[in-house]
Amino acid sequence: MPLFASHQAPTPDKILRVMQAFREDERPDKIDLGVGVYRTPDGKTPILRAVKTAEQRLIDGQTTKGYVGLAGDPTFHTAVRDLVLGPAVPAERIAALATPGGTGAVRQAFELVKLARPAARVWTSAPTWPNHEAILDTLAMPWRPYRYYCPETGGIDRAGLLEDLSRTETGDVVLLHGCCHNPTGADLTLDDWDAIATILNARGAVPMVDLAYQGFGQGVETDVAGLRRLVSAVPEALITVSASKNFGLYRDRVGLVLTVCDTARAATAVQGTLAWLNRQSYAFPPDHGARVVTEILGDASLRADWEAELDGMRERVVAMRLALSDALRAESGSDRFSFLQAHNGMFTLLPATSDQVATLRRDHAVYMIDDGRINLAGLTPDTVAPAARAIASVLG
């Protein structure tokens, strides 16, 4: 029998299904609120000014395309470590691994956990980015959700979250979102980060923080204030970092795993294991995007320009969030959508059923993920009103 005679493809990712359906829709007034990428008002994902400058410098000065180390360029590790963690943890306690994008970082972090503790259980927020749990399933790693989002209030279910995390056990891993929670937009406060650290220390569980949107919430430094408090209070932590959104390096696949260990000796051992993990999968990580990030973060002028443009991107998303909230208030005659204003980042979770989402696509050409997640960067000043009108009419 042929090898693939009875093979069946996995069910396509729900985000990819929405992308395909939107592409095939020929209506000129269609609105894409599904795909989680930043877009300008004209619908384009820009190349940032600092990125263009850094790339030109690399082209002019680079003398080789030889391999970097298995774990990536140490200067890239240092640049991103300092951006994310600052002085929160001594450098000698941190092992780092360059990866193909944030998804690659999540995958390698889970692989590390599985190696270190094969029976480890991973706790994920309800809801979370779908690929978190898909990767865990692929790796056959046990996981369970913890309460996070309260649909009735549009905020965090703090009591449920803390109660569930109090049931974690020694060696469990708790997956948290660093900022701009995907898909809800409802972020932890500094007090929440402190409370989580206290519980995890008491239970012997390890935090893993997925940081994909630094700079899109309140600002580059403010967005990691809670994360820094957490890692300074716990003996071990995993942080997965993506440069897709805040540097606009989607197709260059720039990611990093930062592993905080309790001792420098443990960090040295973990560093070797991380390099081994890369060797077993894709060997040497991609380097071009990583060097772009390193160039930007290492040059005061480029970094200032990057932060200024990132500020503008964040301000556009905030403006679209506020505009949609106001338009929904006008269309619905109520404050039922006012929770949007309290959220951070590109995403918000609308209280929509899958049938309502299907109706929005079919009857109004408004596309979003089946669970009601929308990307505010998909809106423009011209599409806010029709999007709000459609949402209000379908959600009631």
Where do runs of H (alpha helix) occur along the chain?
Answer: 14-24, 49-61, 74-85, 101-116, 130-138, 158-165, 190-203, 225-233, 264-280, 288-297, 300-332, 354-364, 384-395
The reply to whether omega before 127 is within 30° of 0 (cis) is: yes
Q: For the chain, what is the mean pLDDT?
A: 95
* Catalytic (active site) residue 225: no
Residue 120 DSSP code: -
Specify the pLDDT at position 62: 92
Specify the pLDDT at position 374: 95
* Phi, psi (deg, nearest 5) at residue 375: -105, 110
pLDDT confidence bin for 25, thresholds 50/70/90: confident
Residue 37 DSSP code: S
Contacts of 71 (CB under 8 A, 6+ apart): 77, 96, 97, 98, 271, 274, 275, 278, 285
Instruction: Determine the average pLDDT of the residues in 346-370.
Output: 95
- Name the least confident of 19-23, 171-175, 316-320, 355-359: 19-23
Measured on CA atoms in the order 196, 197, 201, 204, is the torsion positive or negative? positive
> pLDDT tens-digit profile of 83-101?
999 999 999 999 999 999 9
Which of the two residues, 35 and 83, has the higher pLDDT score? 83
Residue 182 to residues 92, 111, 130, 213: CA-CA distances in angstroms? 31, 22, 9, 9
pLDDT exceeds 90 at position 2: no
pLDDT confidence bin for 35, thresholds 50/70/90: confident
Q: Which residue in 129, 143, 193, 306 is the catalytic one?
A: 129
Measure CA of the first residue to CA of the last residue in the chain; give whole Å: 55
Helices (H) and strands (E) in the chain, counts: 13, 13
**Do the beta carbons of residue 49 and residue 386 sit within 8 Å?**
no
Helix (H, G, I), strand (E, B) or coil at 121: coil
* Catalytic (active site) residue 276: no
Measured on CA atoms in the order 193, 195, 199, 202, is the torsion positive or negative? positive
Q: Pick from 152, 118, 43, 145: which is nearest to 379 by CA?
A: 43
> pLDDT tens-digit profile of 247-301?
999 999 999 999 999 999 999 999 999 999 999 999 999 999 999 999 999 999 9
Number of neighbours of residue 108 by Cβ within 10 angstroms: 27
Instruction: Determine the average pLDDT of the residues in 338-362.
Output: 95
pLDDT exceeds 80 at position 15: no
pLDDT confidence bin for 233, thresholds 50/70/90: very high
**Do the beta carbons of residue 364 and residue 390 sit within 8 Å?**
yes
Q: Which residue in 157, 164, 210, 370 is the catalytic one?
A: 210
> pLDDT tens-digit profile of 136-168?
999 999 999 999 999 999 999 999 999 999 999
pLDDT exceeds 80 at position 14: no
* Catalytic (active site) residue 164: no
Q: Which residue in 95, 164, 187, 245 is the catalytic one?
A: 245
- How far apart (Å, rounded) are the C-alpha atoms in residues 229 and 220? 15
Q: Which residue in 54, 98, 212, 290 is the catalytic one?
A: 212
Specify the pLDDT at position 291: 97
Tell me, rounded to whole angstroms, the distance of Cα 241 from its chain centroid. 8
Amino acid code (one letter) for 181? H
pLDDT exceeds 90 at position 20: no
How is residue 237 written in tokens? 């932590």
**Do the beta carbons of residue 54 and residue 252 sit within 8 Å?**
no
pLDDT confidence bin for 135, thresholds 50/70/90: very high
Q: Which helix (H) or strand (E) holds 208?
A: strand 206-211
* Catalytic (active site) residue 143: no
Tell me, rounded to whole angstroms, the distance of Cα 154 from its chain centroid. 20
> pLDDT tens-digit profile of 214-228?
999 999 999 999 999
Instruction: Determine the average pLDDT of the residues in 20-38.
Output: 90
pLDDT exceeds 90 at position 12: no
Amino acid code (one letter) for 120? A
Cβ burial 133-163 (10 Å sphere, 16+ → b, else e): bebbeeeebebeebbbbbeeebebbbeebbe
> pLDDT tens-digit profile of 296-346?
999 999 999 999 999 999 999 999 999 999 999 999 999 999 999 999 999
